[in-house]
Amino acid sequence: MRRNWVLFFFVAAGSALSWLPDSMWPNLDLPGWSELILIAVFSAFGTILSGGLWFRFLISSVTGTIVGLWGGSLIWPPVDPEGAAFLPLAIIVAASLTAAVSLIVGLAARRLSVTNRSARCFIWIAFGLCLLIGPTLVVLTPPLVARRIARNDRLVASRFASLKSAAERAAVENGGPDKICDGAALERNYSGPLLSGSDWKYIRGNYVREDGYMLGIWCHQQGGYTIDVAPYRGKADGTKGFCADESGHVGCGMKLGQYPVVCAPCG
């Protein structure tokens, strides 16, 4: 009986720890189902090792999910008020999904019986290793996020320089800066990091997203254009901002609320 209580605790703790990497901000942007897979593994291991007590592990996993998400929000508070307002709903949804996953896995695993001592020892070892996944990701997240941001910054600097050069060449080819939104001249003169075909379809007059940054180019009725590049989610994706127009002026972002759109100076 004491061993079962240890299992209940491990399943609850493992479920709670599974959600911590996702509670951090910025995080690794792991798929939303990754936590549920890990919780399914905990529920399966617990059910098998306990001899089929699946319902208790359902309760343990749901409890761990609630504690993990709530505790994670206290350690890393949501960065925006909207996220904080929807936190209770997010916890309810996550707990419901956890219950569904644990129910399915528990009903399937209760039919499995492992009596071999070596096999049970292997399951316990695997159980312990899975418990370390959440804390390990918490430790690895800051350096991995910093590396992602550095890569995004490096790529966007090259994209901006090439996009600015492409706009200048397209303006010469088409007889003026107000013509670069016509045809494929902009794409033809671009030589920076890859932009997809759909990016080129929507980049003129809209933002497209590549490697954590938004990129867009606008043509003015008075003649001219403005290129704007900014991190999609602020400091979670990058640290740079670029803006350029037909005059050759380079800034760090667009001045909002003005027409035609102009670049704001850096600093």
Distances (CA, A) of 90 to 44, 97, 214: 24, 11, 27
What pLDDT shows up at residue 223? 67
What pLDDT shows up at residue 35? 94
Mean pLDDT of 221-241: 87
Tell whether the model's pLDDT for residue 1 goes beyond 60: no
What pLDDT shows up at residue 257? 60
pLDDT band at 183 (very low <50, low <70, confident <90, very high): low
Tell whether the model's pLDDT for residue 221 goes beyond 90: no
Residue 149, classed as helix, strand or coil, is helix
The pLDDT tens digits of the residues spanning 51-109 come to: 888 999 999 999 999 999 999 999 999 887 777 888 999 999 999 999 999 999 999 99
pLDDT band at 5 (very low <50, low <70, confident <90, very high): confident
More confident residue, 30 or 113: 30
The answer to which of 17-31, 121-135, 193-207 has the lowest mean pLDDT is 193-207
Rounded-to-integer distance, Cα 83 and Cα 86, Å: 5
Tell whether the model's pLDDT for residue 125 goes beyond 90: yes
Report the range out of 21-25, 113-117, 203-207 with the highest average pLDDT. Answer: 21-25
Tell whether the model's pLDDT for residue 160 goes beyond 70: yes
No. of helices (H) and no. of strands (E), the chain: 9, 7
Task: Give percent above pLDDT 70 in the chain.
Answer: 93
The answer to which of 48-62, 125-139, 185-199, 244-258 has the lowest mean pLDDT is 244-258
Closest to 224 measured CA to CA, from 256, 258, 178, 187? 178
Average pLDDT, the chain: 88
State the amino acid at position 93 in one-letter form. Answer: V
Total-model pTM: 0.83
Rounded-to-integer distance, Cα 169 and Cα 235, Å: 32
Rounded-to-integer distance, Cα 162 and Cα 173, Å: 16
Mean pLDDT of 18-30: 92
How far, rounded to the nearest angstrom, does the alpha carbon of residue 45 sit from its chain's CA centroid? 29
The pLDDT tens digits of the residues spanning 250-266 come to: 888 777 666 666 787 77
What pLDDT shows up at residue 264? 78
Closest to 23 measured CA to CA, from 61, 73, 67? 73
